[in-house]
Structure 1
Amino acid sequence: MCANDCRFIDGFPETHKIAMRFLMISFIAVGAYAVFLHNWAWGWIYLAVVVLGQAFLVLPNLLRTQIENHCRLPGRF
């Protein structure tokens, strides 16, 4: 029953959230490449900060569901 009733708080469908995640990852990859061209050490620092920020700050809030954690998409694809 829960799998049929899951609705995201922000109203975006799952396909839009997948597209947003893909675009965020693409943006991170382009930014990391640009920083790596300048200095490899700062490139690794940039990559670590944005990947951890995306994993622990952006995606959990983007994927939060209206129903409790037993719902089919509590925080992951």
Structure 2
Amino acid sequence: MLSKNVDLNNTVILVTGAAGFVGANLVMSLLSEAEGTQIIGIDSVNDYYDVALKDYRLQQIDEMCKDSKNTWIFKKGN
């Protein structure tokens, strides 16, 4: 079990690289564990590796957000 020393409930959190492996997993973890949190994700979604995989992760996050008490906003950067 993870011990928590920071309360992330009812906060605004910015996640850069939100479509990547680490960023997407962080967002999904925040969606499942925090409440009342606004999560803002930013990613360039470039073609350094498979864009379809990044799109799939973002779809997973969108689906997960439907059942969450949190707000998810994604902005595609340049």
Instruction: Report TM bin, short chain.
Output: 0.3 to 0.5
* TM-score, structure 2 as length reference: 0.36
Higher strand proportion, which one?
A: 2
Bigger helix share: 1
Please, what TM-score do these two structures have when normalized by structure 1? 0.36
Higher RCO (CA < 8 A, seq sep 6+): 1
**Bigger CA radius of gyration:** 1
